[in-house]
Structure 1
Amino acid sequence: MTPISHHAGTTTATRFLTRRALLRAGWTDRQLAAAVADGRLLKPRPNAYLPPGVHTDTIDACALGGRLTCVSELARRGVFVLEQPALHVHLHENRRRAPVLARPVRRHWDRLRRMPPLGATSVGAFDAVLQAVRCQPPRAAVATLDSALHLGALHPDDLDELFRQLPRRHAVLRKLIDSRAESGPETLVRLMLRSLGARFDVQVRIRGVGRVDFVVDGWLIVECDSEAFHSTWEDQRRDRRRDQAAAALGYSTYRPIAEDIMWRPEEVRAALAGLLGSRRRGRRR
């Protein structure tokens, strides 16, 4: 009897197995029923079995008879997307009567460009990115593209095909992509700085300070802080000492938090505009 397992990594999609495949592997119907009863196997829908420990989104997509896709699949892979309450599931056109879940579901029916392996519970990264660009606001779509390229979920050679498949209105996004961005908030701040007409460099290494996210107009350091890496006092002490070292070199530092960058962007943009405007006014005086 061959055990069912799945890869712990986020980039590899789980595959479900059918009853016939499991019987061929040495299971019996009685063993399957016992394994489902005691949690050693999951059975999200008839004739589909998954190993325990699979993400809830994957289980729900399988229960609907589809595959995890769009922002839901990219989030599973660790690619940046703006949070969305709905589960995004790709369904075959003949599954128009999929069961109803207790959570909101966004159903995708479009033809996949790259078919996943038989039994896969997720679409491939290319199709997930293609759908996520259409499903998100333009700035978030750029952040997703940056993240997918930075993490290797999408290859630069895929961009030509990707933009051929997108509506023409998305073509403007291509010139905004920069795979050096290490997080979605960094991309969003970069787009804010661009909209303000600021001159800036990204991922700059400053002697005695280290690498910073942005240096704007040669004097303003902007660091995009997230809870994951800046929440403890040890993290804050390190950051403040870096800022102190930067100040000794004549730099000022602004640290917007990721939460504000994503959900209160007008406040972050106003802060950037105020800082940049104050230096320009000082020069005039």
Structure 2
Amino acid sequence: MLRHIDNPAQRVRVFGRGEMLASGYSPTGLTTAVRRGAVLRPRGGAYLHPDTAQDVVDAVRVGGRLACVSELARLGVYVRDHSALHVHLHRSASRLRDLPRDARRHWRPLHRCPHPADATVDVFDAVIQAIGCQDPDDAVATIDSALHLGLLREDELDELFRHLDAGKRQLRNLVDGRSEAGTETLVRLMLRAFKVTVELQVVFVGVGRVDLVVDGWLVIECDSRAHHSDWESQRRDRRRDQALAALGYCVYRPIAEDILYRPERVVAALRGLLRRPRRRPNR
């Protein structure tokens, strides 16, 4: 039987025909398994578990590895847009005619040498590629997300930034893996323009942890539809806001849609709130 190897904590393995036969398949049985969808064969001599993500299958089909924002999105890391397929290809790759029209090709040598059977690049290389493919703020949010998820280590950051172009190295000082979502990072970066103090993941007794505290009095919670869509979640959030108000804090909840696609509205709201300094409540 083909082991399930499409684990988000791991890269996906491609099995060769010899391995499949050695695992117990007969040539006829393997052909039947492919026909029934019990085994995927994206290209001749390459086999994958049937639950393998479609982006991985497409990358293997063209003789490459899933890379950049495509691989990070598969792992749950924040990226702004992964609608195009990002594939790392060896310079001698011969199946370029099979690439989807909107695919993004990556040719540069990898810094973490993958196993020959790996269908994806290492997270370290995927992050480097994603920094080059995204705007600076989104690149920082991607790094923060990879750190928060434990897919990238703090002690790897110096090496990672050494591999970047000089213009990207200044982003190192903006990275903070305490951010639990890409939207939190983006709002934190917006706040740089206001020259305020920002605390991350602050815990209030009787309330719990909040995303950001600005200048000691403004609490910012970055809401997403996925975690705040049902009424019970909204009731819980409003009661938290009420408890914070009783302590003297003002709460602002920008929604992810505005943070990502209408940031000027969020900036305008922050400008209005921060126009006049307020007294810090006793925490």
TM-score band by shorter chain is over 0.9
Structure-to-structure mapping, 1:219-230, within 5 angstroms: 219-230=217-228
Residues 74-132 of structure 1 show CA distances to partners (whole Å, capped at 9, x for unaligned) of 11111111123211000111115423345620010110111111211100111111111
Of residues 94-103 and 196-205 in structure 1, the stretch that sits farther from structure 2 once superposed is 94-103
Equivalent of residue 261 in structure 1, options 242, 259, 264: 259
1:112 to 2:83 alignment? no
Partner Cα distance (1:103, 1:237) in 2:
46
Shift of 1:200: 2.0
Shift of 1:260: 1.3
Going from structure 1 to structure 2, the CA distance change for 1:35 and 1:127 (only over 3 Å counts) comes to: same
Aligned twin of 2:97: 99
Percent identity (aligned): 55
The answer for unaligned runs of 5 or more in structure 2 is none
SS in 2 for 1:204: strand
Q: State the aligned residue count.
A: 279
Aligned twin of 1:197: 195
Q: Is the 8 A contact 1:87 1:103 kept in 2?
A: no
SS in 1 for 2:251: strand
Q: Normalised by the size of structure 2, how large is the TM-score?
A: 0.94
Shift of 1:244: 0.7
Q: Is the 8 A contact 2:64 2:87 kept in 1?
A: yes
Partner Cα distance (1:211, 1:20) in 2:
53
Partner Cα distance (1:35, 1:210) in 2:
51
Equivalent of residue 22 in structure 2, options 16, 21, 24: 24
RMSD: 1.6
Q: Is the 8 A contact 2:128 2:164 kept in 1?
A: yes
Shift of 1:221: 0.8
Residues 3-61 of structure 1 show CA distances to partners (whole Å, capped at 9, x for unaligned) of 11223531212211111222233322111110011111111111111111111111101
Partner Cα distance (2:246, 2:232) in 1:
21
The answer for unaligned runs of 5 or more in structure 1 is none
Q: Normalised by the size of structure 1, how large is the TM-score?
A: 0.94
Partner Cα distance (1:200, 1:23) in 2:
58
Aligned twin of 1:123: 121
Q: Is the 8 A contact 1:6 1:14 kept in 2?
A: no
Aligned twin of 1:76: 74
Q: Is the 8 A contact 2:198 2:212 kept in 1?
A: yes
Residues 190-228 of structure 1 show CA distances to partners (whole Å, capped at 9, x for unaligned) of 101122212221111122222111111221110000112
Structure-to-structure mapping, 1:36-185, within 5 angstroms: 36-102=34-100, 104-185=102-183
Q: Is the 8 A contact 1:86 1:103 kept in 2?
A: no
Of residues 200-209 and 109-118 in structure 1, the stretch that sits farther from structure 2 once superposed is 200-209
SS in 2 for 1:80: coil
Partner Cα distance (2:38, 2:187) in 1:
45
